[in-house]
Structure 1
Amino acid sequence: MKKISGEDFDRKFDDGEDVSDYIDWTTARRPNLEPVQLTVTVMLGTKLRLERQAKELGVSVDSLLEDWLREKLGAARPSAAE
């Protein structure tokens, strides 16, 4: 891995240059992507419908809900609070 100052790194990044030679990918991480547990109470009928939909799509109920929540919250546009 090459060494570079933070200022030079920022300038190269802002100019659209490839900065991957300056990143240690073995320790890189993306913040706010750690899984957390969330408890939600729903009606039995809703749970059964979720399970049926997840099975049809070949995913877990957790994955289905995560995708739907991200979509509803507009994950493509993260807020300043994140």
Structure 2
Amino acid sequence: MKAEDLDKKFDAGEDISQYLNWDKAVRPGLEQRRVNVDLPIWMINSLDVEAKRVGVTRQSVVKVWLAERLKAEQVAAPDH
């Protein structure tokens, strides 16, 4: 199937999952790499409180907060 035909099906709201190879699917720019960060206990406790409050994992809180801050920095300094 041509990409144009696939785009038309998708834009029309059709289920295109049968045309995709999920084993080879990637999310460009969203590949992940593990990092280790040492934090003081009070920060970890505060993160855990916030994670429990919103019903997500500590890791999710850290990712969202980092993403928000990085986006804010990009807006503040658009040259980079």
TM over 0.5: yes
Superposition CA RMSD, Å: 3.3
Total equivalences in the alignment: 65
The alpha-carbon distance between structure 1 residues 39 and 20, as it changes in their structure 2 partners (threshold 3 A), is farther
Summarize the alignment of residues 1-82 of structure 1 with structure 2, pairs less than 5 Å apart.
2-3=1-2, 19=7, 21=9, 25-26=20-21, 27-74=24-71
Report % sequence identity: 30
Task: Select the structure that is richer in helix.
Answer: 2
Query: RCO greater where, 1 or 2, for CA within 8 Å and sep 6 or more?
Result: 1
How far apart are 1:20 and its partner, in Å?
5.0
Aligned partner of residue 19 in structure 1, secondary structure: helix
Normalised TM-score (structure 1):
0.58
